[in-house]
Amino acid sequence: MSAETTAAVAAAAGPALEMDGLTVSYGRARVIEGLTLAVPRGSVFALLGRNGAGKSSLLRVLLGQRPPAKGRVRLLGDDPWTRRTSLMARVGVVPEEPDAPPEMTPLALSALCGRLHSRWDAPAVAERFRRFEVPADRAFGRLSKGQKGAVMLALALGHGPELLLLDDPTLGLDVVARDAVFREVIGDLADRGTTAFVTTHDLRAIEGIADHVAILHGGRLALAGRLEALKAERGLSLEQLFASVAGTRAADGPVTEVRS
């Protein structure tokens, strides 16, 4: 077995996401400090935290859109800052704020993504548009918030990603739309074993699908582990766990909250 193959096997066996002493800062303001976390492959990992906890900033670092101030990040075994281009071929992203060009229709967006990705399943994307009841010939900017989220999810899954990063994907959605989003994620998981890393406030919705959970508070990791084990260990629901951890401020060290 060649060294390359050995490394590839080792990488494949490693976590989908790995953070080691990660610090994210904006100027002098530290948003996340010393975060160490590993997300197993094939898991649904929920990262919970209050507003300003640094979830979106962490997502930007994971996506290679800004470098960490300190520490190490590995996305599917690679550094996202230096290997962003190749990693994005294996990662699907649903941002908190839908960022697709507003003048393009969902079908045109799918066609554009088809030209940007080397592998693109346009019929599957179109099928998801239909399933989500998205008007595929209406400009993206004129869609409702729920429809935009659905389009972004369909586009994120169009190239069959190994890892799906969802940044508060149900924020502002009604119950029906929220359920549709998570159904789709679960369906994709079942089909391909995709790893899902979800940041959310929606504790009730995520409780049904997440198998791992971490809670960020004040820029630090307050709690992490398998969801069922944590619940059993403390005899609390996810909501109660979150309230017990994030309801008070972290004791050790000030971390400035910034709006990014």
In the complex, the residues that contact other proteins under the rule CB under 8 A are: 26, 60, 63-66, 84-89, 91, 93, 95, 97, 99-101, 103-104, 112-113, 115-118
**Amino acid identity, position 239:** E
For residues 104 and 236, which CB has a smaller minimum distance to other proteins in the complex?
104
For residues 74 and 217, which CB has a smaller minimum distance to other proteins in the complex?
74
Long-range contacts of range 29-32, CB-CB < 8 Å, 24 or more positions apart?
29/256, 29/258, 30/69, 30/219, 30/255, 30/256, 31/57, 31/219, 31/255, 31/256, 31/257, 31/258, 31/260, 32/57, 32/58, 32/216, 32/219, 32/220, 32/255
**Amino acid identity, position 247:** G
Q: Give min distance, CB of 171 to other proteins, in A.
A: 14
Under a CB-based contact definition with an 8 Å cutoff, are residues 161 and 91 in contact? Answer: yes
Q: Give min distance, CB of 112 to other proteins, in A.
A: 6
Under a CB-based contact definition with an 8 Å cutoff, are residues 138 and 167 in contact? Answer: no
CA–CA distance, 130 with 214 (Å, rounded to integer): 34
- If phi over 0 gives left and psi between -120 and 50 gives alpha, with beta otherwise, what is residue 253? left
CA–CA distance, 61 with 56 (Å, rounded to integer): 9
Q: Give min distance, CB of 159 to other proteins, in A.
A: 8
Q: Give min distance, CB of 115 to other proteins, in A.
A: 4
Q: Give min distance, CB of 57 to other proteins, in A.
A: 10
Q: Which residue has the tokens 């899954």?
A: 157
Under a CB-based contact definition with an 8 Å cutoff, are residues 221 and 35 in contact? Answer: yes
For residues 11 and 89, which CB has a smaller minimum distance to other proteins in the complex?
89
Provide the token pair at 161: 């990603």
Q: Give min distance, CB of 154 to other proteins, in A.
A: 14
For residues 195 and 241, which CB has a smaller minimum distance to other proteins in the complex?
195
Q: Give min distance, CB of 184 to other proteins, in A.
A: 18
For residues 2 and 85, which CB has a smaller minimum distance to other proteins in the complex?
85
